[in-house]
Amino acid sequence: AAVALAVASAAQPAMAATFLAAVAGALLLLAGLGRLVRSAARRLPAPRRPLLRLAIAALHRPGARTEALVVALGLGLTLFVLLAAIRTSIDANIATTVPARAPSLFALDVPRPRAGEFRRIVTAAAPAAVVKTVPILRGTITAYRDIRVADLKTLPEGAWALRGERGLTYAATLPEGSTLAAGRWWPPDYAGPPLVSVDERLAQALDLKLGDPLTVSLLGVERTARVASFRTIQWDTLGFNFVLVFSPNTLADAPHNLAATIDLPPGAEGRVTRALLAPFPSVSVIEVRGVLAQVRDLVGQVAAAIAAAAGVAVAAGIAVLVGAIAAAREARTYDAVVLRTLGATRGQLLAVQALEYLLLGAVVTLVALALGLGGAWYVVVRLFDFVWAPDPVAVGVTLLAGLGITLAIGLAGAWPILSIRPARALRQV
Protein backbone atom coordinates (compact mmCIF):
# COMPACT_ATOMS: atom_id res chain seq x y z
CA ALA A 1 0.00 0.00 0.00
CA ALA A 2 2.84 2.38 0.81
CA VAL A 3 4.54 1.63 -2.52
CA ALA A 4 1.28 2.11 -4.44
CA LEU A 5 0.64 5.42 -2.66
CA ALA A 6 4.17 6.66 -3.39
CA VAL A 7 3.91 5.82 -7.09
CA ALA A 8 0.36 7.16 -7.51
CA SER A 9 1.12 10.48 -5.80
CA ALA A 10 4.48 11.10 -7.53
CA ALA A 11 4.81 13.76 -10.22
CA GLN A 12 6.71 11.21 -12.34
CA PRO A 13 5.27 7.78 -11.50
CA ALA A 14 7.66 5.91 -13.79
CA MET A 15 10.71 7.42 -12.09
CA ALA A 16 9.26 6.75 -8.62
CA ALA A 17 8.55 3.12 -9.54
CA THR A 18 12.06 2.73 -10.94
CA PHE A 19 13.58 4.18 -7.76
CA LEU A 20 11.51 1.88 -5.52
CA ALA A 21 12.41 -1.11 -7.66
CA ALA A 22 16.09 -0.22 -7.34
CA VAL A 23 15.75 0.04 -3.56
CA ALA A 24 13.95 -3.31 -3.41
CA GLY A 25 16.65 -4.88 -5.55
CA ALA A 26 19.37 -3.49 -3.28
CA LEU A 27 17.62 -4.81 -0.17
CA LEU A 28 17.19 -8.27 -1.73
CA LEU A 29 20.85 -8.27 -2.73
CA LEU A 30 21.91 -7.36 0.81
CA ALA A 31 19.60 -9.99 2.31
CA GLY A 32 21.10 -12.62 0.01
CA LEU A 33 24.57 -11.43 0.96
CA GLY A 34 23.63 -11.86 4.65
CA ARG A 35 22.66 -15.48 4.07
CA LEU A 36 25.84 -16.06 2.11
CA VAL A 37 27.95 -14.60 4.94
CA ARG A 38 26.21 -16.83 7.49
CA SER A 39 26.69 -19.92 5.36
CA ALA A 40 30.33 -19.11 4.63
CA ALA A 41 31.07 -18.47 8.33
CA ARG A 42 29.64 -21.89 9.17
CA ARG A 43 31.93 -23.60 6.64
CA LEU A 44 35.15 -21.75 7.47
CA PRO A 45 37.80 -23.71 9.37
CA ALA A 46 38.10 -22.62 13.00
CA PRO A 47 40.96 -20.10 13.42
CA ARG A 48 43.58 -20.67 16.10
CA ARG A 49 43.05 -17.25 17.68
CA PRO A 50 40.19 -17.62 20.17
CA LEU A 51 38.78 -14.11 19.79
CA LEU A 52 38.59 -14.41 15.99
CA ARG A 53 37.08 -17.91 16.37
CA LEU A 54 34.37 -16.53 18.65
CA ALA A 55 33.65 -13.63 16.28
CA ILE A 56 33.17 -15.97 13.32
CA ALA A 57 31.04 -18.33 15.41
CA ALA A 58 28.80 -15.40 16.38
CA LEU A 59 27.92 -14.95 12.70
CA HIS A 60 26.29 -18.38 12.33
CA ARG A 61 25.30 -19.50 15.84
CA PRO A 62 21.58 -20.11 16.60
CA GLY A 63 19.77 -16.81 17.07
CA ALA A 64 22.38 -14.82 15.13
CA ARG A 65 20.90 -11.78 13.36
CA THR A 66 23.48 -11.78 10.57
CA GLU A 67 21.00 -11.16 7.72
CA ALA A 68 19.39 -8.17 9.48
CA LEU A 69 22.80 -6.77 10.41
CA VAL A 70 24.05 -7.04 6.81
CA VAL A 71 20.91 -5.36 5.44
CA ALA A 72 21.09 -2.50 7.96
CA LEU A 73 24.84 -2.06 7.64
CA GLY A 74 24.77 -2.32 3.83
CA LEU A 75 21.87 0.14 3.51
CA GLY A 76 23.57 2.72 5.69
CA LEU A 77 26.98 2.44 4.00
CA THR A 78 25.41 2.47 0.51
CA LEU A 79 23.58 5.71 1.24
CA PHE A 80 26.70 7.29 2.77
CA VAL A 81 28.59 6.53 -0.45
CA LEU A 82 25.65 7.71 -2.58
CA LEU A 83 25.48 11.10 -0.85
CA ALA A 84 29.23 11.67 -0.89
CA ALA A 85 29.56 10.80 -4.60
CA ILE A 86 26.58 12.93 -5.67
CA ARG A 87 27.60 15.96 -3.63
CA THR A 88 31.26 15.94 -4.67
CA SER A 89 30.37 15.41 -8.35
CA ILE A 90 27.92 18.31 -8.33
CA ASP A 91 30.37 20.57 -6.51
CA ALA A 92 33.13 19.66 -8.98
CA ASN A 93 30.94 20.43 -11.99
CA ILE A 94 29.81 23.80 -10.64
CA ALA A 95 33.16 24.83 -9.15
CA THR A 96 35.32 24.01 -12.18
CA THR A 97 33.52 23.28 -15.44
CA VAL A 98 30.88 26.02 -15.58
CA PRO A 99 32.76 29.10 -14.27
CA ALA A 100 35.87 28.26 -16.30
CA ARG A 101 33.94 28.49 -19.59
CA ALA A 102 31.23 31.03 -18.86
CA PRO A 103 31.39 34.55 -20.33
CA SER A 104 31.08 37.54 -18.02
CA LEU A 105 28.06 39.18 -19.71
CA PHE A 106 25.30 38.35 -22.15
CA ALA A 107 23.84 41.13 -24.30
CA LEU A 108 20.55 40.65 -26.15
CA ASP A 109 18.85 42.66 -28.93
CA VAL A 110 21.97 44.42 -30.20
CA PRO A 111 20.96 46.28 -33.41
CA ARG A 112 22.75 44.67 -36.34
CA PRO A 113 23.72 47.96 -38.06
CA ARG A 114 25.33 49.21 -34.80
CA ALA A 115 27.40 46.12 -34.05
CA GLY A 116 30.68 48.00 -34.61
CA GLU A 117 29.64 50.82 -32.27
CA PHE A 118 28.64 48.29 -29.61
CA ARG A 119 32.04 46.63 -29.80
CA ARG A 120 33.90 50.00 -29.59
CA ILE A 121 32.00 51.07 -26.46
CA VAL A 122 32.72 47.76 -24.73
CA THR A 123 36.43 47.82 -25.54
CA ALA A 124 36.68 51.48 -24.51
CA ALA A 125 35.27 50.62 -21.09
CA ALA A 126 37.36 47.43 -20.78
CA PRO A 127 40.28 47.20 -23.28
CA ALA A 128 40.83 43.51 -22.50
CA ALA A 129 37.22 42.59 -23.33
CA VAL A 130 36.50 39.91 -25.92
CA VAL A 131 33.18 40.41 -27.73
CA LYS A 132 31.52 37.68 -29.82
CA THR A 133 28.25 38.27 -31.65
CA VAL A 134 25.77 35.90 -33.29
CA PRO A 135 22.56 36.54 -35.22
CA ILE A 136 19.49 35.54 -33.23
CA LEU A 137 15.92 35.03 -34.41
CA ARG A 138 12.83 33.41 -32.90
CA GLY A 139 10.89 30.74 -34.71
CA THR A 140 8.73 27.65 -34.27
CA ILE A 141 9.31 24.22 -35.76
CA THR A 142 6.12 23.48 -37.69
CA ALA A 143 7.08 20.33 -39.64
CA TYR A 144 9.80 17.71 -39.99
CA ARG A 145 10.10 14.93 -42.53
CA ASP A 146 6.48 14.56 -43.73
CA ILE A 147 4.96 15.24 -40.29
CA ARG A 148 3.15 18.42 -39.24
CA VAL A 149 3.75 19.24 -35.57
CA ALA A 150 0.17 20.51 -35.23
CA ASP A 151 -1.11 17.03 -36.17
CA LEU A 152 0.79 15.27 -33.36
CA LYS A 153 -1.36 14.18 -30.41
CA THR A 154 1.71 13.68 -28.21
CA LEU A 155 5.26 14.85 -28.78
CA PRO A 156 8.03 12.26 -29.17
CA GLU A 157 10.15 11.57 -26.10
CA GLY A 158 12.95 14.14 -25.89
CA ALA A 159 11.45 16.44 -28.55
CA TRP A 160 11.31 19.47 -26.25
CA ALA A 161 12.28 21.77 -29.13
CA LEU A 162 8.82 21.32 -30.66
CA ARG A 163 7.23 23.20 -27.73
CA GLY A 164 6.82 26.88 -28.59
CA GLU A 165 9.39 29.23 -30.06
CA ARG A 166 13.09 28.42 -30.26
CA GLY A 167 16.16 30.54 -30.73
CA LEU A 168 17.41 30.30 -34.31
CA THR A 169 20.63 31.44 -35.92
CA TYR A 170 22.70 31.13 -39.07
CA ALA A 171 26.45 30.69 -39.45
CA ALA A 172 28.96 30.34 -42.26
CA THR A 173 31.29 28.19 -40.12
CA LEU A 174 30.76 25.55 -37.43
CA PRO A 175 29.89 27.36 -34.14
CA GLU A 176 32.16 27.10 -31.11
CA GLY A 177 31.10 24.43 -28.64
CA SER A 178 29.81 22.13 -31.39
CA THR A 179 31.36 19.17 -33.17
CA LEU A 180 30.02 17.43 -36.24
CA ALA A 181 28.52 14.01 -35.48
CA ALA A 182 27.35 13.28 -39.04
CA GLY A 183 27.14 15.04 -42.39
CA ARG A 184 29.11 18.03 -43.68
CA TRP A 185 29.17 21.74 -43.03
CA TRP A 186 28.36 24.07 -45.94
CA PRO A 187 31.11 26.18 -47.53
CA PRO A 188 31.55 29.79 -46.23
CA ASP A 189 30.21 31.22 -49.50
CA TYR A 190 27.36 28.71 -49.85
CA ALA A 191 24.46 29.94 -52.01
CA GLY A 192 22.54 26.74 -52.81
CA PRO A 193 19.26 25.35 -51.43
CA PRO A 194 18.55 26.16 -47.74
CA LEU A 195 20.33 23.86 -45.27
CA VAL A 196 20.16 23.31 -41.53
CA SER A 197 22.35 21.62 -38.90
CA VAL A 198 20.43 19.90 -36.07
CA ASP A 199 21.38 18.97 -32.51
CA GLU A 200 22.19 15.26 -32.44
CA ARG A 201 19.84 14.50 -29.52
CA LEU A 202 16.91 16.30 -31.13
CA ALA A 203 17.59 14.47 -34.39
CA GLN A 204 17.41 11.14 -32.57
CA ALA A 205 14.15 12.13 -30.86
CA LEU A 206 12.60 13.10 -34.21
CA ASP A 207 14.21 10.19 -36.12
CA LEU A 208 15.71 12.62 -38.60
CA LYS A 209 18.05 11.50 -41.37
CA LEU A 210 20.46 13.54 -43.47
CA GLY A 211 18.54 15.16 -46.29
CA ASP A 212 15.19 15.23 -44.46
CA PRO A 213 13.21 18.50 -44.69
CA LEU A 214 12.59 20.65 -41.61
CA THR A 215 10.25 23.65 -41.60
CA VAL A 216 10.21 26.62 -39.23
CA SER A 217 7.75 29.48 -38.98
CA LEU A 218 9.59 32.81 -38.81
CA LEU A 219 7.55 36.02 -38.44
CA GLY A 220 4.53 34.11 -39.79
CA VAL A 221 6.36 32.84 -42.88
CA GLU A 222 7.36 29.19 -43.18
CA ARG A 223 10.85 28.36 -44.44
CA THR A 224 11.99 24.82 -45.24
CA ALA A 225 15.59 23.59 -45.21
CA ARG A 226 17.21 20.20 -45.71
CA VAL A 227 19.18 18.59 -42.88
CA ALA A 228 22.86 18.83 -43.81
CA SER A 229 24.50 17.65 -40.57
CA PHE A 230 24.05 16.64 -36.95
CA ARG A 231 26.04 18.31 -34.14
CA THR A 232 27.10 17.32 -30.65
CA ILE A 233 26.66 20.45 -28.52
CA GLN A 234 28.66 21.22 -25.37
CA TRP A 235 25.88 22.93 -23.42
CA ASP A 236 28.05 23.54 -20.35
CA THR A 237 30.09 26.22 -22.15
CA LEU A 238 27.29 28.72 -21.33
CA GLY A 239 27.85 30.33 -24.70
CA PHE A 240 25.22 30.72 -27.41
CA ASN A 241 24.25 27.17 -28.36
CA PHE A 242 21.39 26.55 -30.79
CA VAL A 243 19.65 23.29 -31.61
CA LEU A 244 19.11 24.60 -35.16
CA VAL A 245 21.80 26.44 -37.14
CA PHE A 246 20.89 27.41 -40.70
CA SER A 247 23.00 28.28 -43.70
CA PRO A 248 23.23 32.11 -44.03
CA ASN A 249 21.18 32.25 -47.24
CA THR A 250 18.22 30.70 -45.40
CA LEU A 251 17.59 33.40 -42.77
CA ALA A 252 19.89 36.37 -43.41
CA ASP A 253 17.20 38.32 -45.25
CA ALA A 254 14.77 38.20 -42.28
CA PRO A 255 14.70 41.17 -39.85
CA HIS A 256 16.74 40.30 -36.75
CA ASN A 257 19.19 41.60 -34.15
CA LEU A 258 22.37 40.20 -32.65
CA ALA A 259 23.24 38.64 -29.32
CA ALA A 260 26.68 39.00 -27.78
CA THR A 261 28.87 37.32 -25.19
CA ILE A 262 31.45 39.53 -23.45
CA ASP A 263 34.49 38.09 -21.65
CA LEU A 264 35.89 40.58 -19.13
CA PRO A 265 38.51 40.78 -16.41
CA PRO A 266 37.02 40.37 -12.91
CA GLY A 267 35.32 43.52 -11.62
CA ALA A 268 34.74 45.16 -15.03
CA GLU A 269 31.11 44.07 -15.43
CA GLY A 270 29.59 47.14 -13.80
CA ARG A 271 31.73 49.54 -15.80
CA VAL A 272 30.76 47.97 -19.13
CA THR A 273 27.08 47.78 -18.20
CA ARG A 274 27.01 51.49 -17.30
CA ALA A 275 28.81 52.40 -20.55
CA LEU A 276 26.17 50.59 -22.63
CA LEU A 277 23.15 51.95 -20.78
CA ALA A 278 22.81 55.35 -22.51
CA PRO A 279 23.73 54.52 -26.15
CA PHE A 280 21.89 51.18 -26.14
CA PRO A 281 18.81 51.51 -23.89
CA SER A 282 17.00 48.64 -25.63
CA VAL A 283 19.85 46.15 -25.14
CA SER A 284 19.41 43.72 -22.24
CA VAL A 285 22.70 43.03 -20.42
CA ILE A 286 22.76 39.97 -18.15
CA GLU A 287 25.55 39.39 -15.63
CA VAL A 288 26.45 35.72 -15.67
CA ARG A 289 27.80 35.67 -12.11
CA GLY A 290 24.30 36.29 -10.74
CA VAL A 291 22.83 33.57 -12.95
CA LEU A 292 25.52 31.12 -11.81
CA ALA A 293 24.76 31.97 -8.19
CA GLN A 294 21.11 31.09 -8.79
CA VAL A 295 22.16 27.85 -10.52
CA ARG A 296 24.36 26.96 -7.54
CA ASP A 297 21.51 27.67 -5.15
CA LEU A 298 19.06 25.60 -7.20
CA VAL A 299 21.41 22.62 -7.56
CA GLY A 300 22.35 22.95 -3.90
CA GLN A 301 18.66 22.74 -2.96
CA VAL A 302 18.25 19.63 -5.12
CA ALA A 303 21.31 18.06 -3.50
CA ALA A 304 19.94 18.99 -0.05
CA ALA A 305 16.62 17.34 -0.92
CA ILE A 306 18.44 14.19 -1.98
CA ALA A 307 20.47 14.29 1.24
CA ALA A 308 17.30 14.73 3.31
CA ALA A 309 15.57 11.80 1.62
CA ALA A 310 18.64 9.61 2.00
CA GLY A 311 19.01 10.77 5.60
CA VAL A 312 15.59 9.32 6.37
CA ALA A 313 16.70 6.03 4.85
CA VAL A 314 19.96 6.14 6.85
CA ALA A 315 17.93 6.69 10.03
CA ALA A 316 15.75 3.71 9.09
CA GLY A 317 18.86 1.61 8.56
CA ILE A 318 20.20 2.60 11.96
CA ALA A 319 16.83 1.72 13.51
CA VAL A 320 17.00 -1.72 11.85
CA LEU A 321 20.55 -2.12 13.17
CA VAL A 322 19.52 -1.21 16.70
CA GLY A 323 16.55 -3.58 16.42
CA ALA A 324 18.78 -6.43 15.26
CA ILE A 325 21.12 -5.82 18.19
CA ALA A 326 18.20 -5.73 20.62
CA ALA A 327 16.69 -8.93 19.16
CA ALA A 328 19.93 -10.82 19.78
CA ARG A 329 20.34 -9.42 23.30
CA GLU A 330 19.24 -12.60 25.12
CA ALA A 331 21.60 -14.88 23.18
CA ARG A 332 24.48 -12.44 23.51
CA THR A 333 23.84 -12.07 27.23
CA TYR A 334 24.05 -15.85 27.72
CA ASP A 335 27.27 -16.04 25.67
CA ALA A 336 28.84 -13.14 27.55
CA VAL A 337 27.98 -14.62 30.96
CA VAL A 338 29.41 -18.03 30.06
CA LEU A 339 32.60 -16.49 28.70
CA ARG A 340 33.04 -14.26 31.72
CA THR A 341 32.50 -17.27 34.01
CA LEU A 342 35.30 -19.00 32.11
CA GLY A 343 37.57 -16.00 32.70
CA ALA A 344 37.02 -13.67 29.74
CA THR A 345 37.49 -9.96 30.46
CA ARG A 346 35.22 -7.13 29.33
CA GLY A 347 37.91 -5.98 26.94
CA GLN A 348 38.04 -9.41 25.29
CA LEU A 349 34.26 -9.53 24.94
CA LEU A 350 34.23 -6.06 23.37
CA ALA A 351 37.04 -7.18 21.07
CA VAL A 352 34.97 -10.16 19.94
CA GLN A 353 32.01 -7.85 19.23
CA ALA A 354 34.24 -5.40 17.35
CA LEU A 355 35.76 -8.22 15.27
CA GLU A 356 32.28 -9.47 14.38
CA TYR A 357 31.22 -6.05 13.07
CA LEU A 358 34.54 -5.50 11.31
CA LEU A 359 34.18 -8.83 9.50
CA LEU A 360 30.68 -7.87 8.42
CA GLY A 361 31.91 -4.41 7.44
CA ALA A 362 34.74 -5.82 5.34
CA VAL A 363 32.26 -7.93 3.36
CA VAL A 364 29.55 -5.28 3.06
CA THR A 365 31.87 -2.36 2.23
CA LEU A 366 32.65 -3.53 -1.31
CA VAL A 367 28.97 -4.17 -2.07
CA ALA A 368 27.95 -0.80 -0.58
CA LEU A 369 30.67 0.94 -2.61
CA ALA A 370 29.42 -0.63 -5.86
CA LEU A 371 25.73 0.08 -5.13
CA GLY A 372 26.36 3.62 -3.88
CA LEU A 373 28.59 4.62 -6.80
CA GLY A 374 26.17 3.06 -9.29
CA GLY A 375 23.22 5.00 -7.88
CA ALA A 376 25.20 8.23 -7.70
CA TRP A 377 26.37 7.82 -11.31
CA TYR A 378 22.76 7.48 -12.45
CA VAL A 379 21.70 10.63 -10.58
CA VAL A 380 24.67 12.74 -11.70
CA VAL A 381 24.96 11.61 -15.33
CA ARG A 382 21.43 10.57 -16.28
CA LEU A 383 19.27 12.92 -14.21
CA PHE A 384 21.49 16.03 -13.90
CA ASP A 385 23.40 15.47 -17.17
CA PHE A 386 26.66 16.41 -15.40
CA VAL A 387 30.15 15.00 -15.78
CA TRP A 388 30.90 12.09 -13.43
CA ALA A 389 33.53 13.57 -11.09
CA PRO A 390 33.28 12.18 -7.52
CA ASP A 391 36.04 12.89 -5.03
CA PRO A 392 37.51 9.46 -4.13
CA VAL A 393 39.02 10.79 -0.90
CA ALA A 394 35.69 12.22 0.28
CA VAL A 395 33.86 9.03 -0.68
CA GLY A 396 36.43 6.88 1.12
CA VAL A 397 36.40 9.03 4.25
CA THR A 398 32.59 9.01 4.29
CA LEU A 399 32.53 5.22 3.91
CA LEU A 400 35.01 4.75 6.76
CA ALA A 401 33.08 7.23 8.90
CA GLY A 402 29.85 5.31 8.29
CA LEU A 403 31.58 2.07 9.18
CA GLY A 404 32.91 3.69 12.36
CA ILE A 405 29.44 4.93 13.33
CA THR A 406 28.03 1.46 12.80
CA LEU A 407 30.79 -0.10 14.89
CA ALA A 408 30.18 2.43 17.66
CA ILE A 409 26.43 1.63 17.67
CA GLY A 410 27.18 -2.09 17.89
CA LEU A 411 29.64 -1.66 20.78
CA ALA A 412 27.25 0.70 22.56
CA GLY A 413 24.57 -2.00 22.34
CA ALA A 414 26.99 -4.58 23.75
CA TRP A 415 28.09 -2.49 26.73
CA PRO A 416 24.94 -3.02 28.89
CA ILE A 417 25.32 -6.78 28.39
CA LEU A 418 28.78 -6.65 29.95
CA SER A 419 27.38 -4.94 33.05
CA ILE A 420 25.14 -7.89 33.96
CA ARG A 421 26.49 -9.91 36.89
CA PRO A 422 27.13 -13.58 35.95
CA ALA A 423 25.57 -14.97 39.12
CA ARG A 424 22.28 -13.14 38.59
CA ALA A 425 22.14 -14.06 34.92
CA LEU A 426 22.87 -17.73 35.62
CA ARG A 427 20.10 -17.92 38.21
CA GLN A 428 17.65 -16.70 35.53
CA VAL A 429 18.66 -19.41 33.08
The mean per-residue pLDDT over the stretch 185-204 comes to 93
Residue partners of 46: CB distance under 8 A and separation at least 6: 53, 56
Residue 238 banded pLDDT, cuts 50, 70, 90: low
Q: Give the CA distances from residue 305 to residues 155, 189, 221, 292, 402, in Å, rounded to whole numbers and listed in that order.
A: 30, 52, 46, 20, 20
* 99 pLDDT more than 60: no
Between vectors from CA 277 to CA 272 and to CA 281, what angle results, nearest 5°?
Answer: 140
Residue 117 banded pLDDT, cuts 50, 70, 90: very high
Q: Is 215 helix (H, G, I), strand (E, B) or coil?
A: strand
DSSP E strands in 213-288: the ranges are: 213-218, 221-233, 244-246, 257-263, 284-287
* 295 pLDDT more than 90: no
Output the pLDDT for position 355: 80
Maximum average pLDDT range among 18-32, 101-115, 181-195 = 181-195
Whole-angstrom Cα distance, residue 134 to residue 168?
10
Whole-angstrom Cα distance, residue 7 to residue 78?
23
Whole-angstrom Cα distance, residue 360 to residue 406?
11
Is residue 316 within 8 A of residue 397, CB to CB? The reply is no
Whole-angstrom Cα distance, residue 359 to residue 57?
12
Output the pLDDT for position 1: 86
pLDDT digits (tens, 9 = 90+) for 63-75: 667 777 788 778 8
Output the pLDDT for position 348: 76
Output the pLDDT for position 170: 93
Q: Average pLDDT over the chain, rounded to whole?
A: 82
Output the pLDDT for position 183: 93
Between vectors from CA 350 to CA 33 and to CA 319, what angle results, nearest 5°?
Answer: 50
Model pTM greater than 0.75?
no
Is residue 145 within 8 A of residue 208, CB to CB? The reply is yes
Output the pLDDT for position 118: 93
Whole-angstrom Cα distance, residue 83 to residue 79?
6
Q: Is 32 helix (H, G, I), strand (E, B) or coil?
A: helix
Residue 365 banded pLDDT, cuts 50, 70, 90: confident
Output the pLDDT for position 229: 95
Q: Give the CA distances from residue 296 to residues 86, 91, 278, in Å, rounded to whole numbers and listed in that order.
A: 14, 9, 32
